[in-house]
Amino acid sequence: MRLKFTLPFIALIGLIFASCNNKQYASSLDIETTSISTSDSYMNNKIMLLEDTIKGLKEEVDSLTTYKKETLSGKLTFGVEVATFKPCNSDKVYWINDKTKSGRLEKLYYALVNGKEPYTPINAKVEIIDKGKEKYGFAADYDGTYEVVNVLKIHQIVEENCK
């Protein structure tokens, strides 16, 4: 998680540095001089190297922060300080963050379990983004964290089959 925030910061610092060097370089140019001195050539090489480094860092940051959506079916449970999802055919349980429009997932869950025992699991088919393991908070006690971005199907558990 730390790398996700560090690389954009490094890239930003690099851009600022390159911008400052370009301004400094541009202000030190002599308009009447037609040939490039050795130090000017050296500075151009440094600027190009820095620009290449920044471009590479940007590509790496973009690849690290692009998350893939998955469609999963499993058991969904909400309650006080509980928001979990257990995928079908898995022993792992994930903390979930409802990122659907207007908290649609949680609203559908509570409408479906109205009048039932607290923490009643239901079957759900959802689109998620796997955000990995958290270090702090309630989510740290689980195998990882999923962001639910879309609800495809939700229904009460009629049998123990996970669908």
- Judged against a pLDDT cut of 90, whether residue 112 lies above it is answered with yes
- Cβ density class 141-156: b for 16+ within 10 Å, e for less: ebbbbbbbbebeebee
Task: Give the pLDDT confidence score for residue 158 in this predicted structure.
Answer: 75
Task: Give the pLDDT confidence score for residue 63 in this predicted structure.
Answer: 59
pLDDT tens digits for 114-161? 988 889 999 999 999 999 999 999 999 999 999 999 999 999 887 666
Q: Between 76 and 33, name the one with better pLDDT.
A: 76
pLDDT tens digits for 74-103? 999 999 999 999 999 999 999 999 999 989
- Judged against a pLDDT cut of 90, whether residue 113 lies above it is answered with yes
Q: How far does the chain reach from its first CA to its final CA, in angstroms?
A: 32
Say what the pTM is.
0.59
The SS3 assignment for 152 reads strand
- Judged against a pLDDT cut of 80, whether residue 65 lies above it is answered with no
User: Counting every residue, how long is the chain?
Assistant: 163
Q: Average pLDDT in the 99-116 region?
A: 92
